[in-house]
């Protein structure tokens, strides 16, 4: 078997086009321009790239944005004040504090300062609780993107066995809840799970969100499963390329390491997934593209909820 590739791009483009139309309507009919504030602290290079992509995409689809960047040694109290000021501004609909924050800043304190109505990451405990109880909420972007890819690719979730590997607050936990809400039978696995492969092999839908390149291998995958790879890992070792990627990708991957020093790999061994799965989301080009699209969608939802009391 050779898996069907579930490309993220067409799904992300479709969502962005829908959001763009919605934004135009909000501006024309209600005079509301949804606006996102992105707070970044320090000089983490990956964060700089992600934030750049968020701000650029917002501009492309008519969403306003403000990028607030602070030095790595900025005091926690100052960031709390910045968030409080954004909470109070009527023209700001969404607030995103890019993670990770420098070690001296208490991440939880900052995330809990964000007004839940403006929490476009869906990381505030109020939104996490609402999601768990099945109420309307702002849902974390990456797991919401996974559901969109499955739905828009015609993959039924109801009644299926779904296994999520990883239990982070950002992906694993909300992913599990969303699959449950879509009527899957859900199992969450993690670093302490015994006989992981026996459990993941039960999965009709297997979601990998552990943060380790190629952790999910052939032995973990049931023949014909749908495999969703949420990982984004940097691989610099040419030996790993031979192990992780299908033959027809090797040359391109080795060239990437040669030219840029690294290639991106998911949490799933792509070679094994292509051989065993019915469908697979590639890295790059899969779920990663959905995160920003869903952030835009959340920003518009936040604008509607707060300013029009509708979604």
Interaction site with ligand GUN (CB under 6 A)? 96-99, 121, 141-142, 170, 291
User: In whole angstroms, how close is the CB of 63 to ligand GUN at the nearest point?
Assistant: 16
User: In whole angstroms, how close is the CB of 98 to ligand GUN at the nearest point?
Assistant: 5
Which tokens belong to 232?
Answer: 């984004």
Q: Is 121 a catalytic residue?
A: yes
- Choose among 215, 277, 254, 252: nearest CA to 5: 277
DSSP reduced 3-state for 265: strand
Sign of the alpha-carbon torsion through 158, 159, 160, 163: positive
Dist CA 23 CA 289 (whole Å) = 20
Q: Which residue's CB is nearer to ligand GUN, number 18 or number 107? A: 107
Q: Which residue's CB is nearer to ligand GUN, number 127 or number 291? A: 291
Marked catalytic residue, from 98, 173, 204, 272: 98
Marked catalytic residue, from 93, 119, 121, 272: 121
Dist CA 13 CA 123 (whole Å) = 25
Q: Which residue's CB is nearer to ligand GUN, number 200 or number 286? A: 286
DSSP reduced 3-state for 227: strand
Marked catalytic residue, from 54, 160, 173, 276: 54
User: In whole angstroms, how close is the CB of 302 to ligand GUN at the nearest point?
Assistant: 14
Which tokens belong to 27?
Answer: 């501006």
Q: Which residue's CB is nearer to ligand GUN, number 123 or number 280? A: 123
Please identify the residue of the shown chain whose CB is closest to the bound ligand GUN: 99
User: In whole angstroms, how close is the CB of 19 to ligand GUN at the nearest point?
Assistant: 17
- Choose among 237, 263, 206, 273: nearest CA to 5: 273
Q: Which residue's CB is nearer to ligand GUN, number 69 or number 201? A: 69
Q: Which residue's CB is nearer to ligand GUN, number 40 or number 160? A: 40
CA-derived radius of gyration, the chain: 20
According to DSSP H, which parts of the chain are helical?
A: 8-25, 45-60, 76-88, 107-113, 125-132, 141-152, 172-181, 196-200, 238-244, 247-260, 270-276, 288-303
Q: Is 54 a catalytic residue?
A: yes
User: In whole angstroms, how close is the CB of 90 to ligand GUN at the nearest point?
Assistant: 23
Per-residue exposure over 129-155, b if at least 16 CB sit within 10 Å of its own CB, e if not: ebbeeeeebbbbbbbbbbbbbbeeeeb
User: In whole angstroms, how close is the CB of 50 to ligand GUN at the nearest point?
Assistant: 6
DSSP reduced 3-state for 78: helix
For 89, 174, 281, the CA distances from 138, given in Å and listed in that order, are 19, 11, 24
Question: Which residues are part of the catalytic machinery?
Answer: 54, 98, 121
């Amino acid at each position: 078997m050779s898996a069907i590739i579930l490309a993220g791009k067409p799904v992300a483009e479709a969502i962005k086009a829908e959001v763009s139309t919605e934004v135009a309507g909000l501006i024309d009919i209600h005079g509301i321009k949804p606006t996102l504030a992105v707070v970044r602290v320090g000089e983490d290079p990956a964060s700089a790239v992600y934030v750049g992509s968020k701000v650029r995409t917002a501009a492309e689809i008519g969403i306003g944005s403000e990028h607030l960047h602070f030095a790595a040694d900025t005091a926690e109290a100052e960031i709390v004040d910045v968030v409080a000021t954004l909470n109070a501004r009527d023209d700001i609909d969404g607030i995103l504090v890019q993670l990770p924050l420098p070690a001296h800043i208490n991440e939880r304190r900052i995330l809990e300062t964000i007004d839940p109505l403006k929490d476009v990451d869906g990381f505030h405990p109020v939104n996490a609780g609402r999601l768990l109880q099945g109420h309307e909420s702002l849902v974390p972007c990456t797991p919401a993107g996974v559901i969109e890819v499955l739905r828009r690719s015609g993959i039924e979730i109801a009644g299926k066995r779904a296994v999520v590997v990883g239990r982070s607050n950002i992906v694993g936990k909300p992913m599990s809840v969303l699959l449950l809400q879509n009527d899957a039978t859900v199992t969450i696995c993690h670093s302490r799970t015994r006989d992981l492969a026996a459990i993941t092999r039960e999965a009709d839908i297997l979601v990998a969100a552990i943060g380790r390149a190629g952790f999910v291998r052939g032995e973990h995958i049931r023949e014909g499963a749908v495999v969703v790879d949420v990982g984004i890992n940097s691989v610099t070792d040419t030996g790993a390329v031979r192990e992780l990627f299908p033959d027809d990708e090797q040359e391109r991957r080795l060239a990437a390491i040669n030219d840029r020093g690294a290639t991106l790999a998911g949490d799933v061994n792509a070679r094994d997934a292509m051989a065993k799965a019915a469908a697979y989301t590639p890295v790059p080009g899969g779920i990663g593209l959905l995160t920003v699209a869903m952030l835009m969608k959340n920003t518009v939802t936040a604008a509607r909820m707060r300013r029009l009391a509708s979604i």
